[in-house]
């Protein structure tokens, strides 16, 4: 566990458990999503949907009110289960009996069962929700949770263009509906000599710095709002009474609420254009709970119903937003933004839903993963979709990025359940098929996620995750009717455990051109 030196004592207090009575260590990592490389050769693996694994048995002693208020904002159990029944969140990991002397399962019981936090696991939820730095090249290295980068449902962490003698910015999304986009700026300036140094460089650049949340203004400008106890909006916030900077870093969502950051349509992966340093973020989707006509904003401008009435309302298809830092500086506190592309079915209304004029060759929904090729400059877009799957599966698309400001202003008429409103937004140059094209479509039930490229640009490696997600258990449907058998059924015929005799499996696929050339040229 790491953090800024001046606030480390406060962080250790919030990390104190029966396992680590001094609060210096966390035990393991959970639900890692969207890793990001660092300039010094390590990886940040991001703890995403960690909150629901904690529970408290019936009649459990509850922690103090402030701890419970912190939990509620993150979706961690804040009430005891009623009568031993009630709803079990997550997997019920707190219920098995531990072996003598062990607390493998007890740690998921977040009740205040002991005299102090050092006697139980009431603080265990505080030890998850971070960027975990690992060094794959050094098996003897100790992973570190970088508390300075904030605690939330992390999805990827990508760094700014490197400039020697200037700080490094890391951009991060909180993967939940109506959550925020964040930036961490290192206190130390980048030194190219640190490339390949490993975890020691992580200690140098990721323990000390400033944390910000993004506010997207309706005029196409934006601000980075610092998350610091000295900020009046945080210091005087009555919904959650912050007492020190350690609490700001551990209860980051509350701090972003306090300063008035912009609630986004589920921020997931980001990526930085190596050509110009502009930052792109997937806003995967939002539901009608949060997006209705009159509750939109310029950065999240659509509120509509699935045109065929099958797959949801709100902003079910999502979009990709991008921004350019003022003076292209990692330390900038202001930026310009527009919307790069809107996900949509190709036959949706072009004035209100299909604003990017998508066709049958590039229509998509729910962008999730983003990655820029350093070889070709292509922006690859991956989807994790439940709103367009009545027509097609999740996919990988290739796009030509353009630049912030290459489009114009659009008035978006929103309509849902008889309610209408118009939202003005800033839209990038509309993408024709020459600038956005579907590259591959995944098997049924799969998310297409995670992308890497060899240094020569001639090979892509793409992950196909949880194909056949809704496939019934073996024996319930012997023929897997209407479900996936991937990668069996002709893809890997004869491989034991696949196809009709087994079940679908996740895998990494390797793609090359038949002529051996660079993919995308």
Question: Of 108, 105, 140, 142, which is closest to residue 122 (Cα–Cα)?
Answer: 108
What are the φ and ψ backbone dihedral angles of 83, each rounded to 5 degrees? 55, 25
- Find the mean pLDDT for residues 4-33: 96
- The reply to whether the predicted model has a pTM over 0.75 is yes
- Find the mean pLDDT for residues 293-317: 89
Q: What residue has token string 């696949």?
A: 498
Quote the pLDDT of residue 81: 80
CA torsion 489-492-497-502 (nearest 10°) is -10
Residue 162: strand, helix, or coil: coil
Which of 124-128, 431-435, 466-470: highest mean pLDDT? 124-128
- Find the mean pLDDT for residues 296-321: 90
Residue 453: strand, helix, or coil: strand
DSSP state for residue 148 in the 8-state scheme: G
CA distance 2 to 5: 9
**Do β-strands 144-145 and 131-134 pair in parallel, antiparallel, or remain unpaired?**
antiparallel
- Find the mean pLDDT for residues 265-284: 97
Q: Say if CB 487 and CB 505 are below 8 A apart.
A: yes
Task: Provide the token pair at 190.
Answer: 């980048």
Quote the pLDDT of residue 84: 47
Residues 6+ apart with CB under 8 A from 171: 157, 158, 159, 160, 181, 182, 183, 270, 272, 279, 281
pLDDT band at 309 (very low <50, low <70, confident <90, very high): low
Quote the pLDDT of residue 121: 97
Residue 420: strand, helix, or coil: strand
- Find the mean pLDDT for residues 316-341: 97
pLDDT at 498 over 70: no
pLDDT at 159 over 90: yes
- Dump the DSSP string for 318-344: -EEEEEEEGGG-TT-SEEEEEEEEE-B
DSSP state for residue 83 in the 8-state scheme: G
Quote the pLDDT of residue 85: 46
**Runs of H (alpha helix) within 139-287:** 199-206, 232-235, 245-250, 252-259
- Find the mean pLDDT for residues 55-69: 93
CA distance 382 to 365: 10
- Find the mean pLDDT for residues 487-506: 62
Quote the pLDDT of residue 486: 80
Q: What is the 3-state secondary structure (H, E, C) of 43-102?
A: EEEEECCCHHHCECCCCCCCCCHHHHHHHHHHCCCCCCCHHHCCCCCCCCCCCCCCCCCC
Quote the pLDDT of residue 80: 85
Among residues of the chain, what percentage have pLDDT more than 90? Answer: 81
Q: How far is CA 511 from CA 225, 371, 469, in A?
A: 42, 16, 24
Q: Partners of 174 in the beta sheet?
A: 154
- Find the mean pLDDT for residues 497-521: 83
Angle between helices 252-259 and 65-74 (to 10 degrees): 80
Task: Provide the token pair at 332.
Answer: 């900038």
Q: What residue has token string 């729910």?
A: 366
pLDDT at 468 over 90: no
CA distance 11 to 98: 28
CA distance 512 to 516: 7
DSSP state for residue 146 in the 8-state scheme: B
Q: What residue has token string 């604003």?
A: 355
CA 243 centroid distance within chain: 28
Task: Provide the token pair at 217.
Answer: 């203004």
pLDDT at 20 over 70: yes
Residues 6+ apart with CB under 8 A from 437: 361, 362, 397, 398, 399
**Runs of H (alpha helix) within 338-441:** none
CA distance 157 to 148: 13
CA distance 76 to 69: 10
pLDDT digits (tens, 9 = 90+) for 219-262: 999 999 999 999 999 999 999 999 999 999 999 999 999 999 99
Q: How far apart are the first and last CA of the chain?
A: 44
Question: Of 243, 190, 189, which is closest to residue 69 (Cα–Cα)?
Answer: 243
CA distance 162 to 189: 10
* Higher-confidence position of 308 and 400: 400
Task: Provide the token pair at 8.
Answer: 């480390």
Quote the pLDDT of residue 504: 78
CA distance 65 to 82: 19
- Find the mean pLDDT for residues 322-350: 96
* Higher-confidence position of 402 and 310: 402
Question: Of 60, 96, 64, which is closest to residue 80 (Cα–Cα)?
Answer: 60
pLDDT digits (tens, 9 = 90+) for 352-393: 999 999 999 999 999 999 999 999 999 999 999 988 888 899
Taking 3-state DSSP, the helix, strand and coil percentages for the chain, each rounded to the nearest 5, stand at 15, 30, 55
pLDDT digits (tens, 9 = 90+) for 406-460: 999 999 999 998 899 999 999 999 888 989 999 999 988 899 999 999 999 999 9
pLDDT at 87 over 60: no
Rounded to 5°, angle at Cα 460 from 455 and 462:
135
pLDDT at 48 over 80: yes
Neighbours of 300 (CB within 10 A): 27
CA torsion 117-118-123-126 (nearest 10°) is 140
pLDDT digits (tens, 9 = 90+) for 2-13: 999 999 999 999
């Amino acid at each position: 566990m790491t953090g800024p030196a001046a606030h480390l004592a406060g962080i250790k207090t919030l990390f104190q458990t029966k396992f680590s009575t001094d609060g210096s260590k966390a035990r393991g990592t959970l639900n890692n999503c969207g890793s990001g490389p660092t300039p010094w050769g390590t990886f940040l693996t991001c703890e995403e949907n960690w909150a629901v694994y904690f529970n408290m048995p019936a009649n459990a002693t509850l922690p103090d009110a402030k701890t419970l208020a912190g939990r509620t904002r993150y979706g961690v159990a804040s009430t005891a289960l009623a009568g031993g029944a009630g709803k079990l969140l997550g997997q019920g990991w707190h219920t098995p009996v531990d072996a003598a002397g062990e607390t493998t399962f007890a740690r998921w019981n977040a009740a205040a069962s002991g005299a102090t936090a050092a006697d139980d696991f009431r603080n265990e939820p505080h030890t998850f929700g971070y960027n975990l730095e690992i060094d794959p090249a050094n098996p003897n290295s100790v992973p570190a949770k970088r508390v300075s980068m904030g605690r939330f449902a992390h999805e990827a962490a990508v760094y700014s263009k490197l400039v020697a003698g200037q700080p490094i910015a890391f951009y991060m999304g909180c993967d939940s509906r109506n959550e925020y986009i964040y930036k961490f700026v290192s206190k130390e300036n980048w030194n190219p000599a640190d490339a390949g140094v490993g975890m020691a460089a992580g200690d140098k650049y990721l323990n000390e710095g400033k944390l910000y949340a993004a506010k997207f203004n309706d005029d196409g400008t934006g601000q980075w709002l610092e998350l610091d106890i000295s900020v009046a909006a945080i210091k005087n916030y009555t919904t959650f009474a912050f007492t020190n900077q350690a609490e700001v870093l551990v209860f980051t969502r509350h701090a972003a609420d306090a300063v008035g950051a912009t609630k986004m349509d589920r921020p997931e992966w980001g990526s930085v254009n190596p050509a110009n340093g502009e930052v792109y973020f997937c806003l995967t989707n939002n539901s009608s709970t949060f997006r209705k006509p009159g509750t939109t904003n310029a950065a999240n401008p659509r509120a509509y119903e699935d045109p065929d009435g099958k797959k949801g309302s709100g902003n079910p298809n999502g979009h990709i937003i991008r921004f350019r830092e003022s003076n292209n500086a990692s330390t900038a506190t202001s930026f310009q933004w527009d919307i790069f592309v809107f996900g949509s079915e190709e036959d949706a209304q072009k004035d209100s839903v299909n604003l990017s004029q998508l066709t049958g060759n590039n229509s998509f929904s729910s962008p999730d993963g983003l990655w820029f090729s350093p070889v070709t400059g292509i922006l690859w877009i991956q989807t994790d979709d439940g709103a367009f799957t009545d027509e097609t599966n999740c996919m990988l698309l290739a796009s030509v990025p353009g630049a912030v400001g290459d489009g114009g202003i659009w008035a978006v008429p929103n309509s849902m359940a008889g309610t209408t409103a118009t939202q003005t937004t800033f839209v990038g140059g509309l993408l024709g098929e020459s600038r956005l094209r579907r590259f591959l479509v995944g098997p049924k039930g799969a998310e297409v996620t995670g992308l890497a490229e060899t240094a020569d640009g001639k090979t892509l490696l793409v992950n196909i995750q949880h194909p056949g997600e809704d496939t019934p258990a073996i024996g319930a449907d012997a023929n897997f009717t209407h479900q996936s058998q991937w990668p069996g059924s002709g893809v890997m015929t004869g491989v034991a455990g696949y196809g009709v005799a087994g079940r679908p499996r996740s895998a990494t696929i390797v793609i090359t051109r038949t002529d051996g050339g660079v993919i995308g040229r």
